[in-house]
Structure 1
């Protein structure tokens, strides 16, 4: 019942803000376009809001999941009209804040002390407010400037209702759409559910931030703030206050004479470093979570916050992904097809040559364009549409990565429209593969495994003895089993012979008896034969058995 109520509320908000006006009617089939022109939503007034404001307000009122969808859309200005993109950008850190009194009550309950006891200074006005939490500026009694992040009251219940609705839609899709099983909609929603629940736990976010900081310690590429663990709880986090320029304020960044080309390329390098070197990537890098240290314009450094959603891959997926991307950059479509089959991303019965030809048909026209005009997102979409014919299934573990990559590309193109994502990424991937499978990579693996091997060395004689004993016991068991099988076979053969003799003797005895007493059977016997002969032979056969 709760899910139906939520579904009706979503429909009502969509009607109230006239989101139907955002649908391009001219691109719809005739029947659907006719239906849209006479839909009852037109009875609702448009009001004085622009279309971008109406969409932004509707997503904000619908709750965290829809707000996050808007945040993701806001990173792809290349796919949206400017007026809508500008409004959606506000969802990154300008969602309506909840009252400061609620924030203080949450802080005091979590810490078990008053705000004045915890902080030397605390600003009641929110510094920034997003869909799941908001932050307030503060100062510790030890003098450090910090930000205090507080989870929105009641947000967990709203998210759980929306996630249950997503599960319902995913299961409905499986029933109604024949090919939906290849998209793994339930598994995708389950992964998203886990990510959202992790984002509601600020202790996990704090741990992720600490890990990211450790991965890029003293790096010129990325900085992560310091966590103050003594003030951090599940619904509360206190971290170092950073003073960077929001990455969305491009005019301010340009006024600092920042090298925009290098800035965009470093963004790509950070992404691939996180995915392949660290296997730990920030999966929510929309512009509201990224700032810039402009103190060195020729060597700009990113500052990442809000590490609530992070991702990682299995070693196998990591390896296959790198090899797929390299093969794709080299336009080696047969290798791309082979890797997809080998990794299990498409069915085993898929013919590599046919799959390679289909990929070539999609990619060759794209590679003919200037590099600056190629969108990796469009390439991915084209490949997915092609792969449908080959029963390619969505890999839930890669969905988060694909979403992050699209965010990075969208952000990079805002910073430097001439960004060549592929050329920037290719040398990094080639170097990573050399380190992984080259002499250095092999030596590194040996060094990593050496302590384990050395630990086993003293036990090798005992292990060898136990292994030989097990082999010897196994051989004896096999010999005994063979002898038992031979014995059983002999007994079965002997039993069959005895049964045959019994049958023949019984038949002869019966025939003799019948011949001796029945005149009807006498013509069957020669004059030299007497019935007692048959009886005698039958008895002899039975006695031999």
Structure 2
């Protein structure tokens, strides 16, 4: 039954793709080529929109296939290292909007999750959702203490829908591997694995709540960014309650100007918030599109929707800082060398060729005014170039590149003359100084000194134990050396015995052959017989020499 359902879904996907003139995607799966040819003869094929860009056609097809495919397309849009640029940019426009489910279903789910009537927890509850997406929808409510909150509720039955479509995506990935060998370089099964993890995290609203709490703690008291408070006592796997955010949507540029907000400062603050998240905290909001950002009357950023977050380790931060600084100094040798030293590319990589490739894609960027230079596009070109030299780009870096690209676009929409380098360069130089210079060494020394001081009384015993183990190790090694020498001696002896056995056996056989060749004539021994007896005697002597002895 499951296989029949999957077949029906696959045929529908084929029909939708052919309707949107995406035959190349169907052709990749040989099993559906006859069905594709049948569909091509349909009358409506006469009106195929071949003049519409393929990215637009693919986006529209995914929107028609439903919520899970929309979210999968959105995830793919964060991987421009895997997709052509035109498709990645178009998939980023996918809209995750679906009709809301009933208020009765929302109330029932909230009451089941919290364990009581709605009135127990909320003094007011708006039955009309303010937002509705494929996984959840949001209602506005008020607590009994007067606090206004946003209540996010998972869609009823969404888990089974997602599991069904995930099985289908895995099937498509395996079919692509089997019937479309060029698709292997995109690692389709691994891409679906990544999507599966992301979508399952979205199905547990406690994960998003934890993300919001962490980001809020990182910016506690900040005038740059406000993150809503999580009401943990009202948060469950299927329900999340957050402080409601008020403000002007950041996409409403005219409204921001009318409120008297300094647009230049607002744009620069957005860049600073991004670099602070990435380099200070190593934890950043990876879905900062205009729909998720509001601005207070004082010009403070206010973020919502914390389902997609990125993390950076110290190695990632150093990689990014070194490459950004080298890029803006036009030091392409430093860019190539940093990749080699960090182990991002193979040790045998030709540094001169790698530097030349980086120069080829980066130098045209500087033909533009510096205010038009894009960090995000630089990273994209860098990743694409590095992949040619077998660099496996880490997903967290690609997610950061996509986020940076969005931040740049948003900042220049707010303030067209935004110079990212004016904000970013001092920040990166300060970070490099603090984490890689003498100050970083002293800071590390201060941080680690209490641990060393606490361990100081234990050092003599640790030293004694180390020496004792070293002595035991030396004794064990000497014993192993003696055993090895004994094995070598026995091997040489066995080889000698084998040599004598082979030589003696050969002599005996040769002697027997010669003895059979001649008989004594008139009592006189023939030379063959004399030779045969001599060989036989030599063979017997050799065999005795090689005969095993009790104590070799």
TM-score range, shorter chain: 0.7 to 0.9
Q: Using a 3 Å threshold, how does the CA distance of structure 1 residues 281 and 385 change in structure 2: closer, same or farther?
A: closer
Say whether the 8 Å CA contact 1:59–1:67 is kept in structure 2. no
CA distance in 2, matches of 1:489, 1:512: 35
1:210 Cα deviation from its structure 2 partner: 0.6
What's 1:491 paired with? Answer: 493
CA distance in 1, matches of 2:533, 2:13: 102
What's 2:335 paired with? Answer: 336
Among candidates 467, 470, 487, match of residue 469 of structure 2: 467
Structure 2 length as normaliser, TM-score?
A: 0.79
Among candidates 134, 150, 162, match of residue 159 of structure 1: 162
Among candidates 173, 198, 212, match of residue 195 of structure 1: 198
What's 2:259 paired with? Answer: 256
What's 1:28 paired with? Answer: none
State the SS of the aligned residue for 1:120.
strand
**1:220-299 correspondence to structure 2 within 5 Å:** 220-295=223-298
CA distance in 2, matches of 1:536, 1:44: 99
Structure 1: where are the runs of 5+ without partners? 22-34, 46-51
Establish whether residue 62 from structure 1 lines up as the match of residue 66 from structure 2.
yes
Structure 1 length as normaliser, TM-score?
A: 0.79
CA RMSD of superposed structures (Å): 4.2
Map Cα deviations across residues 171-227 of structure 1 (whole Å, 9 max, x no partner): 444445555444333323322221221122111111111100111111222111111
Structure 2: where are the runs of 5+ without partners? 23-38, 50-55, 79-84, 547-552
Say whether the 8 Å CA contact 1:289–1:306 is kept in structure 2. yes
1:371 Cα deviation from its structure 2 partner: 2.3
1:101 Cα deviation from its structure 2 partner: 1.1
CA distance in 2, matches of 1:72, 1:346: 24
Q: Using a 3 Å threshold, how does the CA distance of structure 1 residues 522 and 128 change in structure 2: closer, same or farther?
A: same
Map Cα deviations across residues 129-182 of structure 1 (whole Å, 9 max, x no partner): 333222212111222221111112233333334444443444444445555444
Number of corresponding residues: 510
Q: Which structure is richer in relative contact order (CA contacts within 8 A, separation 6 or more)?
A: 1
Q: Using a 3 Å threshold, how does the CA distance of structure 1 residues 452 and 302 change in structure 2: closer, same or farther?
A: same
Map Cα deviations across residues 470-504 of structure 1 (whole Å, 9 max, x no partner): 42233323332333234324423542464367347
Q: Using a 3 Å threshold, how does the CA distance of structure 1 residues 468 and 61 change in structure 2: closer, same or farther?
A: closer
Map Cα deviations across residues 399-419 of structure 1 (whole Å, 9 max, x no partner): 322322222222222222222
What's 2:150 paired with? Answer: 147
What's 1:30 paired with? Answer: none
Say whether the 8 Å CA contact 2:225–2:273 is kept in structure 1. yes
What's 1:441 paired with? Answer: 440
CA distance in 1, matches of 2:211, 2:511: 93
CA distance in 2, matches of 1:341, 1:387: 11
1:230 Cα deviation from its structure 2 partner: 0.8
Establish whether residue 478 from structure 1 lines up as the match of residue 480 from structure 2.
yes
Say whether the 8 Å CA contact 1:106–1:150 is kept in structure 2. yes
Q: Using a 3 Å threshold, how does the CA distance of structure 1 residues 420 and 157 change in structure 2: closer, same or farther?
A: farther
1:36 Cα deviation from its structure 2 partner: 11
